């Protein structure tokens, strides 16, 4: 075997024994950023543990004791642990990161600090979350989707403080926050013990139905006739200055009687001439 073949064989052997954790280039593509609102702590833990198990590093955050520093595997363990620690730091919001950042920490120590942040003061956090949960109507949100996400997010946060919300209670609260135009759909949901997904679908279909009806009503509405405008007082309605046809005046009485009185023709002529002027 040549030297080139020996080198190639050595690289292949090393790649076969490479730990799966080294194949991850960007953990943020796999685990979303934890901020406590859009991404709750419980949801983040589930995602992180799922990937930690898949890449064989779950023992770095599940309480397993690390090897002794004198152990021959300690150096390899320390390198992998630093990568897991980078995963934790890389998936936290800026506010959370500054609270647990420590270059001398292990992944387990950082994990425990983060856990204590979300589990301390459970009673006060639970009280504020419950108030927000029961006082979030659809009118306070810009859309149905935002309304659904907000209620679901608060329910997830309540789970983090040991106040889990059952699906039936979540559906009930969602229905209570709807405006009166959804009363018929809300009544049906309450009576049929509908699941969260089915209830959400029913409300979205009702919204689309109402929007289509309003659009049809707007198109079918009769157009009102444009009122004839009346010119205001003082406006010249004959800007061209052309004379209109003169008014024909008729003289009451019998023309035969006037013919017998020549002086009457003079009076009639003066009256007609004055009217035309």
Nearest to 129 by CA among 172, 164, 94, 175: 164
Q: Reply yes or no on whether the pLDDT at 195 is more than 90.
A: yes
The residue-averaged pLDDT of 27-32 equals 89
In terms of residues, how long is the chain?
A: 277
- The dihedral region occupied by 56, where left means phi > 0, alpha psi between -120 and 50, and beta the remainder, is left
- When mean pLDDT is compared across 91-100, 126-135, 208-217, the lowest value belongs to 208-217
Dihedral sign for Cα atoms in the order 183, 187, 190, 194: negative
The answer as to whether 170 is a domain residue is yes
Q: How confident is the model at residue 138 (pLDDT cuts 50, 70, 90)?
A: very high
For residue 17, the model assigns a pLDDT of 77
Mean pLDDT of the chain: 82
For residue 108, give every residue at least 6 positions away whose Cβ sits within 8 Å of its Cβ, in sequence order, or none.
60, 61, 63, 66
Dihedral sign for Cα atoms in the order 203, 205, 206, 208: positive
Helix axes 196-220 and 167-176, enclosed angle (nearest 10): 20
The answer as to whether 240 is a domain residue is no
Residues 111 and 83 in one domain: yes
Q: What's the predicted TM-score (pTM) here?
A: 0.60
What is the span of the domain harbouring residue 77? 17-119
For residue 160, the model assigns a pLDDT of 83
Q: How confident is the model at residue 213 (pLDDT cuts 50, 70, 90)?
A: confident
Q: Among the three residues 178, 194, 211, which one is the final residue of a domain in this structure?
A: 211
Helix axes 144-160 and 196-220, enclosed angle (nearest 10): 160
Residues 98 and 162 in one domain: no
Residues 106 and 33 in one domain: yes
For residue 4, the model assigns a pLDDT of 46
Helix axes 144-160 and 167-176, enclosed angle (nearest 10): 140
Highest mean pLDDT among 21-30, 117-126, 127-136, 256-265: 127-136
Q: Among the three residues 119, 149, 184, which one is the final residue of a domain in this structure?
A: 119
The torsion angle over the Cα atoms of residues 197, 201, 204 and 205, rounded to 10 degrees, is: -170
């Amino acid at each position: 075997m040549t030297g080139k073949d020996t080198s190639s064989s050595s690289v292949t052997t090393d790649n076969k024994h490479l730990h799966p954790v080294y194949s991850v280039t960007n953990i943020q593509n796999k685990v979303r950023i934890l901020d406590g609102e859009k991404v709750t702590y419980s949801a983040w833990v589930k995602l992180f543990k799922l990937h930690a198990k898949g890449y064989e590093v779950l023992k770095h955050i599940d309480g397993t004791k690390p090897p002794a520093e004198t152990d021959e595997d300690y150096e390899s363990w320390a390198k992998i642990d630093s990568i897991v620690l980078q995963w934790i730091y890389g998936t936290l919001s800026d506010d959370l990161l500054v609270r647990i950042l420590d270059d001398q920490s292990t992944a387990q120590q950082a994990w425990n600090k983060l856990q204590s942040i979300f589990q301390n003061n459970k009673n006060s956090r639970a009280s504020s979350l419950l108030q927000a949960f029961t006082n979030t109507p659809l009118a306070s949100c810009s859309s149905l989707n935002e309304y659904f996400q907000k209620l679901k997010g608060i329910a997830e946060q309540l789970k983090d403080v040991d106040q889990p919300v059952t699906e039936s209670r979540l559906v009930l609260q969602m229905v209570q926050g709807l405006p009166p135009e959804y009363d018929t759909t809300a009544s049906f949901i309450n009576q049929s013990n509908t699941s969260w997904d089915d209830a959400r679908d029913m409300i979205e279909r009702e919204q689309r139905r109402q929007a289509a009806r309003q659009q049809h009503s707007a198109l079918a509405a009769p157009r009102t006739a444009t009122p004839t405008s009346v010119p205001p007082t003082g406006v010249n309605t004959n800007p061209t200055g052309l004379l209109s046809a003169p008014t024909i005046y008729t003289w009451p009485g019998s023309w035969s009687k006037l013919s017998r009185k020549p002086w009457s023709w003079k009076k009639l002529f003066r009256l007609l001439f004055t009217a035309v002027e």
